[in-house]
Amino acid sequence: MSVRYELDIHTHTIASGHGSTATITDMAKAAAARNIKMLGISDHGPRTFGGGRASYFRSLANAQKERLGVRMLYGAEANIVDRKGRLDLPDEVLSRLDFVIASMHRPILKPGSKEENTETYLRVMANPYVTVIGHCSDTHFPADPFRLFFEARKRHILLEINNSSLSPEGYRGDTRFADLVILNLSAHFHYPVLFSSDSHGTAHIGDFAYAEELAGRAQIPEGLILNRSAEGFLEFLRKDK
């Protein structure tokens, strides 16, 4: 990696119910070994089979803010459960988290038309607790990246460039077109983007290789990539919507 990235906030532990048996401490250890300064834990919400229950997310408010020298943020990857844009965690839980990623997953949400998916995302963005829209370039849930970008900018929400979607082993189809549109709009309108590893377990924490390559093609200024600065990301979170 030519650029040093300080944070990764889309990662999954054993509490997500699949893909990993790593504990939060295992994750922090791996992050520290990779020089990641700030790690966000974002386990799947309750509608994912075996995902975290509301009580798990509620208790994260008491979890250690620093582990092994890594600044910890505790969030969730909440499921978008219907076309009204509702999530699978109540506001009372969402409001205590450091950040909230909202994502469409099968089979929890049946993919709709491009128009339907876009409208649903726009409704999700009206939720004041949502910080990031997860993997919105998923080809199984086609959406209009232009409309998503302008709404995200208006609502002070980030669209992530999900590295696992871009991986050749990814299972969200070819997401490059929509991701490139988002990166180009970010560069043009000078609005930040967020890379995420979506690492299930420790293996891919801080791995943004594919996202970085695509961002290079969009010639996005490095300063717009929020992963560059833990302080910059915290500042983004502090800004009122």
What are the residues binding Zn ion (CB under 5 A)? Answer: 77, 103, 134, 198
In sequence order, which residues have a C-beta less than 8 Å from that of residue 69 and are 6 or more positions away?
A: 32
Amino acid at 174: D
- Residue 205 burial (10 A CB sphere; 0-12, 13-18, 19+): buried
Neighbours of 139 (CB within 10 A): 14
In the bound complex, what is the minimum distance in angstroms from residue 224's beta carbon to Zn ion? 23
Structure tokens at 168: 């050749």
H or E segment at 77?
Answer: strand 70-79
Nearest-approach distance from CB 212 to Zn ion, in angstroms: 19
The smaller minimum CB distance to Zn ion, of residues 75 and 134, is found at: 134
Residue 28 to residue 26: CA distance in whole angstroms = 6
Cβ-based neighbour number of residue 161 at 10 Å: 31
Nearer to Zn ion, 77 or 98 (CB): 77
Q: Which is nearer to Zn ion, 169 or 240 (CB)?
A: 169
Q: How far, in Å, are 41, 73, 130, 239, 241 from residue 153 at the CA level?
A: 24, 23, 13, 13, 10
**Of residues 45 and 134, the one with the C-beta less far from Zn ion:** 134
For the CB of residue 188, give the shortest distance to Zn ion in the complex, in Å.
Answer: 27
Least separation in angstroms between CB 221 and Zn ion? 27
CB of 18 to Zn ion, least distance (A): 11
Taking the least distance from each CB to Zn ion, the nearer of 170 and 232 is 170
The nearest distance, CB 103 to Zn ion, in angstroms, is 4
Helices 145-155, 176-189: axis angle to 10 degrees equals: 40
CB of 79 to Zn ion, least distance (A): 8
Q: How far is CA 168 from the centre of its chain?
A: 19
What value, to the nearest 5°, has the Cα angle with vertex 5 and ends 231 and 196? 95
Nearer to Zn ion (CB atom), residue 106 or residue 154: 106
CA distance 45 to 182: 26
Shorter beta-carbon distance to Zn ion: residue 10 or 228: 10
